[in-house]
Structure 1
């Protein structure tokens, strides 16, 4: 089965530095196949006979901790889930929104609290979001860097772990999934 794993918070501001060649080696040491990385933010496409993404995630978190000495959350989606995520983006038909301003925060589990009121308070000038299952779709018309609706706020308000990727990265990873 083909998977995408997304590591949370590596290689950001010099924290939790991991070279992608070293990360790839960890995956391969764990007997995962067809391992490919994409950019420096911890995106890894791989194959595994394991059908339980939770087991894979826990094993990868343990392997990364052993190899690099720090905790990193790993969120995994299989190829079918990834395609569903891409098709479910409610903002795709909005031609005025460039892909670089669309993001998806992939959550470790379904949020237990209702996001509308909690997250709406952090939205600024045209920012929008839509929660669908374990994904929070976002538009940051002025870029994500200055937004108050950042990943730490999202995690705290929804009481889940997450990691965000921009739409261009989401599409690039989808292309990588197609390679066998």
Structure 2
């Protein structure tokens, strides 16, 4: 049995798309995961699934079950433990984070639903959106937000518009906690 990180995009942000974590756990169990643990109240979970599970198919099953059970439509990204650990290990801004108190909330991981098209990457300079603070990793765009997320450029929107890839964003505290839970 393999472990997976499950990221449900956009639930429990403000008053929109409210989903109780007990309902999310039930949806994940109905979708074939066991030993499910949620983290915070914002669509982050880990669970055990069959070896060889197709993450894209599992994400689609979760989306369907979530809509059926709660009426909430939300994209869901399922990552293998290895994929999440690669994201966590690839952190390019460790030195910057070490110099700032509570840095985990200023480091964003824009996790990609798919690999970007190399031709689009060649055509668009991702680093130009926030020079020195954005770097592409494996299935992720890292963004260091020294003055906080609200004062930083919208990297997720840029990725969706220019690279035509869906994104779900988590701060570094969440990525690190999910990696620990795996």
The TM-score with structure 2 as length reference comes to 0.86
Q: What does 1:103-142 correspond to in 2, within 5 Å?
A: 103-112=108-117, 113-114=120-121, 117=124, 119-120=126-127, 122-123=129-130, 128-142=133-147
Shift of 1:99: 2.5
Residue 162 (structure 2) pairs with residue 157 (structure 1): yes
Higher helix share: 2
Are the structure 2 counterparts of residues 19 and 150 from structure 1 closer, same or farther at C-alpha, using a change threshold of 3 Å?
A: farther
Gaps of 5+ in 2: none
* Farther off after superposition, 66-75 or 100-109: 66-75
Unaligned runs of 5+ in 1: none
SS of residue in 2 equivalent to 1:145: helix
SS at match of 2:24: helix
Q: CA deviation at 1:119?
A: 4.2
Secondary structure at the residue paired with 1:153?
helix
Instruction: Choose 154-163 or 143-152, whichever is displaced more.
Output: 143-152
Match of 2:180 in 1: 175
Q: Which residue of 2 aligns with 1:71?
A: 73
Superposition RMSD on alpha carbons, in Å?
Answer: 2.0
Give how far 1:130 is off.
Answer: 0.6
Question: Relative to 1, partners in 2 of residues 1:116 and 1:88: Cα closer, same or farther, differing over 3 Å?
Answer: farther
* Structure 1 Cα separation of the partners of residues 65 and 54 of structure 2: 17
2:35 equivalent in structure 1:
34
Q: TM-score scaled to structure 1, two decimals?
A: 0.87
1:58 corresponds to which of 52, 57, 60 = 60
**Whole-angstrom distance in 2 between the partners of 1:44 and 1:79:** 12
Count of residues in correspondence between the two structures: 175
Kindly state the Cα deviation for residue 121 of structure 1 after the two structures are TM-superposed: 5.2
